[in-house]
Amino acid sequence: MTTRFWRGVFAVAALMAILSPATAQAQITRVTGSDTRQSFGVNLGAFFPKGEDSRVDNDVLFTNLDSLLFDIDDFTGFSFSGEYLFAITNNFEVGAEAGFYQETVTSIYRNFVNIDNTEIEQDLKLRIVPLTASIRFLPLGRGAAVQPYIGIGASLLNWRYSETGEFVDFSDGSVFHEKYVAKGNTFAPVVIGGVRFPIADIWTIGGEVRYQSADGDTGGRAAGFLDDKIDLGGWTANFNVHIRF
C-alpha cells in the first residue's frame, strides 16, 4: 500500500508538472488584444468633396464657378481624426471621434483683370471639424485575423467658409479688398466601411472609407456671398492605427 501510495503521489506530481506550463500558456493566450473591449486610434487620410453634378442646390461654390476660375476638386485635402471604440459584443462596437479638415483654394476672375492687367485673386477657404458617434458591425468578429466592418453614425459638423481677397463691384467696375465669412454647426448622417488587421496582439492597422451628407447656410448676398448654401458632403478615405486595451 505504501509503495502504491507514493507511486500515485509521484504520478500526480509528474502530471501536474507537465500540465502547469500548458495551463499557464493557455491563460496568457486568453488575455490578448481580441479580449480587450476598448481601443484608441488615429485616422489619417483625405476628404473628397462632392462633385459639381451632385452638390446641393444653391451651393455657393457651384455658383462661384460662373465668375471665378477654380475647380471643386481643388478642395480635396488632408484630414485626420482620433477615435475611441468600445466593444459591446464580439460583433458590435460603438465609437466617438473628433476630426479636422481644412483646405484653401486660390481663385481668379474668369473675365476680369486689374487695370495693370494683373489677376484679381481670392482665397476660398473651407474648414470642417466633425464630432462623430457611430456603431459598427464586424461580421467575422473582433478575434478574426481579418476584420471587415460596416457602420452608421451621425456627425456634428462645426464648419467655417470664407472668401478673402479682391472683388469686383459690378455697379462701377471698381476692385476692392474684403473678407466674407460664414460659419455654423450642422448634423450629418455618416456611413462607414473598412477593414482592419490585428498585428503584435494589441495593435491593429487598416483602412476605411466614409460618406457624409450635409450643408450649411452662408447668408447669401446679404452676407457677401453669391448663394445661400455651402455643401459639406463628400467622401473620406483613411488609413488607421489602433491600440486595444
What is the rounded average pLDDT of the residues 179-203? 96
Secondary structure letter of residue 125 according to DSSP: E
Residues 123 and 231 in one domain: yes
Residues 114 and 179 in one domain: yes
Domain count, the chain: 2
Q: Supply the range of the domain harboring residue 13.
A: 1-30
Does the pLDDT of residue 15 top 50, yes or no?
no
Residues 69 and 185 in one domain: yes
Residues 57 and 155 in one domain: yes
In Å, what is the CA distance from 32 to each residue of 23, 37, 204?
A: 15, 11, 13
Residues 102 and 13 in one domain: no
Measured between alpha carbons, how far is 46 from 152 in angstroms, rounded to an integer?
19
Residue-level pLDDT at 36: 86
Residue-level pLDDT at 171: 86
Of 190 and 10, the one with more pLDDT: 190
With cut-offs at 50, 70 and 90, classify the pLDDT of residue 14. very low
Residues 90 and 111 in one domain: yes
Residues 126 and 217 in one domain: yes
Residues 20 and 134 in one domain: no
pTM confidence score: 0.84
Residues 63 and 150 in one domain: yes
Residues 179 and 214 in one domain: yes
